[in-house]
Structure 1
Amino acid sequence: MAKSNIGMSELEELIISKSSVKQDVYTVTKEVFVDLKEVLAGIASELEAFTARSDQRISIQLNAPSDFECQMTLAGDTTIFQMHTNVFMFPPSHMIHRSPYVMKEPKNGYCGVINVFNFLTDSFRYQRMDDSGYLIARIFINRERHFFVEGQQQLGYLFNDFNKAELTKKELKKVLELALKYILNFELYTPPFSAFKEVKLSDIQDLTQSLKLQTSKRLGFRFQADEENEVDF
């Protein structure tokens, strides 16, 4: 019987260097997600007070279907904040590996992630399962609460100092406000006329029953990898 080249000491070392660190990252990410829900509740409360004075037709809603998901509805937009339950390391070519902070301690490169998605509120209301949503941002957090954000426009370059930036509630509120501002600034565009020159009878019947012609907002989303944004890792 062939002897294993891996001794128990190596297995124990791997458990400490990998599994324990990932548990630490998971714990911190979950704490951040709790903070995120609290910050969102504060934002929702402020907006509700504003709309109560200015236009009561505008609906502001916040709910948490699970420990790992939170949904915020601002009139015609529903934003989903989702914490991934896994912990990730970045590919060797990623800029994070050239960060002095990570080069000094590679374990600092392990991150949890919170995804921010945008959908039309009517996609939920009318159960239009074919409607498209968009990934607006990804918030990466390590075991020491250092963080950076991938996303569109200001989200892609204001929060990229992974060496020093710590995700406090104050910083989290800045990220969330920018994400919501970005979402609200993009309009629902009518599809090109040519896209609907031919329509099946079944499409019209579905439309009559539940307004199920596929719809999505034009967000023109691209991440940093597509836009060559400068990142200060």
Structure 2
Amino acid sequence: MDDRLDAIFAGLKQKTSAKQAIYRNTKNAFDQFKKVSIDLVKRLSDRVTSLDSSVLIEYRDVSEFEFHVKISGDLLVFVMHSNVVTFPEDYDLMKTEYVEADFKRRFFGHIMAYNFMADSIKYGRMNDPGYLLGRLLINIENHFYLEGVDQLNLRFQDLAQNVLNDESILLLVESAIIAAVNNDLMARDIDDLRVITVKQKLDNQQISRNQKVGFNFSYEASHDHD
């Protein structure tokens, strides 16, 4: 009995210690994302305001685990999840030599970036969609793995080589903004507007349900052809 309890305790201690370290890495990274975004917004705003003062670029700190970057009609939402996660054995990332070499490398903190239409949030249009731009996974060694849309034009998918630093964080934020700004709003087909309900009229839903073109998520795309 004591041997089994000792084994359970040792396993819990190892896993708990690893997850706490990963959480700290992820929180430090998210705080750096905030600092980089604040500086980037200021520099962009200074340049754009001199050309067109009506174009609004701003940063908003929502909570310890969320912040927004508004670029004119686009709203980027960055969210850090407080839980540390792992993946199934058949997940490509879990089958790499780097992960298989150390049990602690199987766990990750994660930061998500979403793109919304700014007016969707401003006017509380609950049916308007948002699009996932990317998911950043961070491990105990502060290495990272990026799953993102093709429009990011980034290929940070070698966990063994990718070390998170100020330079890579800036590149990730800049790329997310570029992807969001370049993803245009598409009007709905005229046939979809011929009949609306009274509720849609009252809620102005016939206008609000215009959608972004959408993104191709690189992880999903690669598995659709398996």
Say whether residues 1:192 and 2:193 are aligned partners.
Answer: no
Determine the structure 1 residue equivalent to 2:215: 220
Structure 2 distance, partners of 1:62, 1:157, is 24
> Residue 15 of structure 2 is aligned with which of 8, 13, 18?
18
- 1:40 equivalenced with 2:34 (yes/no): no
- SS of corresponding position for 2:70: strand
Alignment root-mean-square deviation, CA: 2.1
Q: Residues 87 and 110 of structure 1 are in contact (CA less than 8 Å); yes or no, is this contact kept in structure 2?
A: yes
Cα displacement (A) at 1:211? 7.9
Distance 2:210 2:10 in 1: 51
| Paired position in structure 2 for 1:80 | 77
The answer to which of 149-158 and 46-55 deviates more is 149-158
Cα offset, 1:102, TM superposition: 1.4
1:141 aligned residue (135, 138, 141): 138
Contact conserved, 2:120 with 2:208, CA < 8 A, in 1?
no
Q: Tell me, what secondary structure is at the counterpart of 2:175? A: helix
1:169 corresponds to which of 142, 166, 169? 166
Q: Is contact 2:187–2:210 with CA below 8 Å preserved after alignment?
A: no
Relative distance call for 1:192 and 1:212 in structure 2 (3 A) is closer
| Deviation by residue 1:102-134 (Cα, 9 ceiling, x = unmatched) | 122121121100000111011112111111111
Can you give the 5+ residue segments of structure 1 that lack an aligned partner in the other structure? Answer: none
How many residues align structurally? Answer: 224
CA displacement 1:69-112 (0-9 Å, x = unmatched): 01110000011000001001121011222322212212112110
Equivalent position amino acid for 1:145 in 2: N
In the alignment, is the contact (CA less than 8 A) between 2:142 and 2:164 conserved in 1? yes
1:228 to partner: Cα distance: 5.0
Q: Tell me which residue corresponds to 2:24.
A: 27
TM-score w.r.t. the length of structure 1 is 0.89
SS in structure 1 at match of 2:183: coil
Q: Which moved more, 1:118-127 or 1:97-106?
A: 97-106
Which residue of 172, 177, 180 corresponds with 1:180?
Answer: 177
Over the matched positions of the two proteins, sequence identity in percent amounts to: 27
Unaligned runs of 5+ in 2: none
1:62 Cα deviation after fit: 0.5
C-alpha separation in 2, matches of 1:156 and 1:88: 26
Using the size of structure 2 for normalisation, the TM-score is: 0.92
Contact 1:203 1:213 in 2 (8 A): no
Seen in structure 2, the aligned counterparts of structure 1 residues 155 and 93 have a Cα distance that, compared at 3 Å, is farther
Q: 1:16-59: CA deviations, max 9, x gaps? A: 22111111100110000000001111110110111121111110
* Alpha carbons 2:151, 2:216 under 8 Å: kept: no
Are the counterparts in 2 of residues 206 and 212 from structure 1 also a CA contact under 8 Å?
no
Partner of 1:63: 60
Does 1:118 pair with 2:115?
Answer: yes
Equivalents in 1 of 2:203, 2:101: separation in Å? 59
- Name the CA distance, whole Å, in 1 between partners of 2:220 and 2:88: 13
